[in-house]
Structure 1
């Protein structure tokens, strides 16, 4: 086993407004994490990043799959699973803004026009809980649910909340707020992430890349110690 240390920190200087926004962001992630557990209770597996396993339907996002568990059953019922997420029928929902998928700290949220992107994304890949090839179950998470990420923030995402697109584990930066594609936010000093055990934490942008990489995997054999 490889022992790693994880920085969980809060920036030293924070205004009340920033504290409130970060709290709302954390609550959004908490609700999504609970929805993942409710989904698991019903289906005995975590959702696929691109639809149900083994069916012939077009890909659809895990965010769609969670709608019934975040009090959005009407939107779920409107979604046409027989067509692409941006197909003719589903296009009728293209302009719907869901605040649950938006971090209030993101400056792009301001303005009169609805923002339909998501600020919360999963990390997808065979080594993560969002494996596209086969469903992830609790017994697959040998690194421990408190050491395995479900999803986190992505600053200035261009991903519509209905779109089945997230962060590819093999392609993203293993640093937070690196300026490249990867976990990022407009919070000072780091970003919020949700773990499989339901906890939401603020990870410092000073976290070591090997530690962040370990947190993204479900069965890498690492142990992660907090300090």
Structure 2
């Protein structure tokens, strides 16, 4: 016996209702899997940092006078030594990041551990360097930095910028922080934070753009902590609340220094002890700020 039209409509309605009920669960499961992979990426990065420290005796710099970011120095410790060996450590000629040299190709190479699977961007974006690869994870430079350089720190914010040396975080210009320097405790100090990477999202002329390996705009930086800009392409500050990009009242130069993500409600962080935690965007701000300092003796994470 065949179905009547009414029966068929009833069946279709039930199927539609079941689909509507199941779809959020499927999407939630997929996001949970992506978040787990994001956490695994950060775990690999923190362990790579530990191997680097074991070999060298200190963590790598956040960026250098030759415009490399910490991503470049970590390559041999995340199974990318062959790529590391192609890098040209000079500023002129083939050392330029947009010259089409091996340095350019390194910035164009997709390295999965630097990318959160929830990042909805293409693998390559033309931005200062052709076909540049976006990055999802920045090093934590400071608990107080409010801009890339002192000349653009907004009124009312701490006079601290990413261009300065001797910041209180783990990675900054020409830094070489040792485990022994982390007097707040390795489980209470953040090494990496996830970023809400989106070069098309701008505020006050500042893009939320974060990149791997090469930082061309830092070219004129001097070890004394002056010159250059756009250190926020690889570094972050816990002065800015988690997912500060949502706060339209923040100045753009402050906003771009903040960690965030495409995960609902917070972002993933890698700690100096190698642990990885998801921090809510509602976490107490002063407590969160304290995690960005290695030696501030502030209130510690419970």
Return structure 1 stretches of 4+ with deviation > 6 angstroms. 110-115
SS in structure 1 of the partner of residue 139 of structure 2? strand
Matching residue within 42, 59, 70 for 1:46: 59
Matches within 5 A, 1:78-227: 78-83=86-91, 84=95, 86-88=97-99, 89=101, 90-109=103-122, 116-125=133-142, 126-132=167-173, 134-157=175-198, 158-164=209-215, 165=231, 166-169=234-237, 173-179=239-245, 180-181=255-256, 182-226=258-302
Provide, for residues 84-134 of structure 1, a one-character-per-residue CA deviation record: whole Å limited to 9, x for no partner. 561522123332111111101111247999771110001224100114254
Is the 8 Å Cα contact of residues 97 and 115 (structure 1) preserved in structure 2?
no
Is the 8 Å Cα contact of residues 125 and 132 (structure 2) preserved in structure 1?
no
- What's the offset of the Cα at 1:59? 2.7
* Residues in 1 aligned to 2:105 and 2:186: alpha-carbon distance in whole angstroms: 37
Matches within 5 A, 1:27-38: 27-38=40-51
Matches within 5 A, 1:10-25: 15-25=28-38
Describe the shift of the 1:167–1:160 C-alpha distance in structure 2 as closer, same or farther (beyond 3 A). Answer: closer
Q: Return 5+ residue gaps in structure 2 as ranges.
A: 1-24, 143-166, 199-208, 216-230, 246-254
SS in structure 1 of the partner of residue 118 of structure 2? coil
Q: Which has the higher contact order (CA 8 A, sep 6+)?
A: 1
Is the 8 Å Cα contact of residues 143 and 220 (structure 1) preserved in structure 2?
yes
Is the 8 Å Cα contact of residues 102 and 120 (structure 1) preserved in structure 2?
yes
Is the 8 Å Cα contact of residues 122 and 167 (structure 1) preserved in structure 2?
yes
* Residues in 1 aligned to 2:89 and 2:244: alpha-carbon distance in whole angstroms: 36
Matching residue within 59, 73, 76 for 2:67: 59
- What's the offset of the Cα at 1:71? 0.5
Give RMSD over aligned pairs. 2.4
Q: Highest Rg: 1 or 2? A: 2
Aligned length, in residue pairs: 207
- What's the offset of the Cα at 1:159? 2.5
The structure with more helix, counted as a fraction of residues = 2
Q: Return 5+ residue gaps in structure 1 as ranges.
A: 1-12, 52-56
Q: TM-score, normalised by structure 1?
A: 0.83
- What's the offset of the Cα at 1:173? 4.6
